[in-house]
Chains A and B, each alone.
Chain A
């Protein structure tokens, strides 16, 4: 069961009231970033809006929305959830 470290930023951090969290995901078949997204939403339903607009970066590399199903998550990986911010 891979443990995925999730880093939450900006509005996601505010709504989840946490700057990081750990997700346990199945390894057979191996979990993808799309599974992590779904699990995150189950854990934090209040993130429904902000997850739609956020960048997902797996081990500091951007995952294209189309690639979320094929981007496999391994134990110890780190997923950053980066919402757009607008202030200046």
Chain B
């Protein structure tokens, strides 16, 4: 017996009682059917599957955004879970984008989730954002923020940008807006708005960038800011209400009136290096030079340049060996493998100096090491921390999280009057390498 449908649905996307029922509480809202049609037709790219990406992707999925692409190359880590609530404990060590995709499809099996197990970079950004009605920036570093905004500004894709660190967050709509035209059943024309560069033409100096790994973050904060971001995406896509285009919401968790709305510029900056120049070739643009253009405000660095090697320059790509080769030419100190570092450090007269922040040091440090955060490192601080033991120290071993700041510290020390006849070393790869090679129980704090 065939059953002819006896009713007309609000949604043409799916002649399915489940869709109407699933979105019933949307459909009965004022303009709710148009809102739901916009969401069901929308294609949204979510860049970053972490603290912000989890609430953004889960809410947009539950709310019925038709196609969501999730982009992240990282694996889930134990230290993510206090805030990245889209990932189960059992997913530690597995792909973030795959984990979040599974979570989203569990919430709503009527949508499509595309998984991109990669990071957005200047070579792939244009292709990544093309074809989307909106992009959510849920990334965790300045480079990705500029790359993504540049691509969205040039390709004409609205960008909902959120960020948080410590107890604070910020949220705005960038690059432009394009909202649903319910008469025509399609997304309308793109209206340009300022890009991330228009607001922040000067990038943060290394160490000032405010990332969660270095500075910590209150677990619930990205939940709030990311949910706010999902709301903003829904408003931009559907055209309901007033968006944060030309405005920024600043969220201060510790305040009794935690949100503050700032009026930002409405128009693009006519001198913006990206959105206001005729030609901007993202693939050849020198992001390294741009991102290192703000000098590092670390005290000792002002005077420390060794044979033309600028120690204030941030490492090109996170923890690595970027400074290594050039500085080693002058062999002011030696780099050690984790194994050699371990044997050197056990001799009498060896002093391990950990140059991470005090909070990271307090969370976990090598037994017997002392802490001088890199931004504090100067001769006075050295004397006050090392004090009477100083005279007996014949070997100084610097260590940091990933093996970059320990090189800066070694370069400074080896050229300071403190050096005397001491041997100076630092550990290649930092405590991340120590954890990998020597003691897997050393907690991963980043």
Contact = CB atoms under 8 A, between A and B. Distances in A.
Contacts of B276: none
Interface string B16-45: 000000000000000000000000000000
B166 A53 contact: no
B208 A83 contact: yes
A49 B297 contact: yes
Contacts of B165: 10, 85-87
Max chain B CB contacts within 10 Å: which of A10, A13, A50, A82? A10
B262 A60 contact: yes
Contacts of A55: 199-200, 248, 262, 264
Contacts of B140: 86-88
Given A50-B297, A52-B294, A55-B200, A85 B261 contact: no
B53 interface: yes
A88 B212 contact: yes
A14 B358 CA distance: 14
A84 B197 CA distance: 11
Contacts of A62: 199, 262-265
Contacts of B48: 88
B355 to A, nearest CB: 18
Interface in A17-33: none
Contacts of B202: 52-53
A86 B51 contact: no
A36 to B, nearest CB: 16
B208 A53 contact: yes
A53 B212 contact: no
B208 A50 contact: yes
A82 to B, nearest CB: 6
A52 B250 CA distance: 19
A65 B271 CA distance: 12
A37 B297 CA distance: 17
A46 interface: yes
B239 interface: no
Given A11-B210, A60-B262, A86 B250 contact: no
B261 A86 contact: no
Given A61-B262, A62-B264, A80-B260, A86 B294 contact: no
Contact of B263 (A11, A60, A65, A87): A60
Contacts of B211: 86-87
Interface string B206-225: 00111111010100001000
A10 B168 contact: yes
Nearest to B217: A87
A87 B260 contact: no
B297 A87 contact: no
Given A62-B262, A80-B260, A83-B208, A88 B138 contact: yes
A71 to B, nearest CB: 13
Given A9-B252, A46-B297, A49-B296, A86 B262 contact: no
A84 B171 CA distance: 11
Contacts of A84: 142, 145, 163, 170, 199-200, 203-204, 209-210
A46 B170 CA distance: 23
A86 B142 contact: yes
Contacts of A88: 48, 50-53, 137-140, 162-164, 212, 222
A53 B294 contact: yes
B110 interface: no
A49 B248 CA distance: 22
A48 interface: yes
B70 interface: no
8 contacts: A9-B252, A10-B166, A49-B204, A62-B265, A84-B200, A85-B163, A85-B210, A88-B140
Given A53-B200, A60-B260, A86-B141, 9 more contacts: A11-B204, A13-B168, A49-B297, A50-B204, A55-B200, A57-B263, A65-B201, A85-B163, A88-B163
Interface of A: 9-11, 13-14, 46, 48-50, 52-53, 55, 57, 60-62, 64-65, 80, 82-88
3 shortest interchain CB distances as A-B pairs: A49-B297, A87-B165, A87-B212
Interface of B: 48, 50-53, 137-142, 145, 162-166, 168-170, 199-205, 208-213, 215, 217, 222, 248, 250, 252, 260-265, 269, 294-297
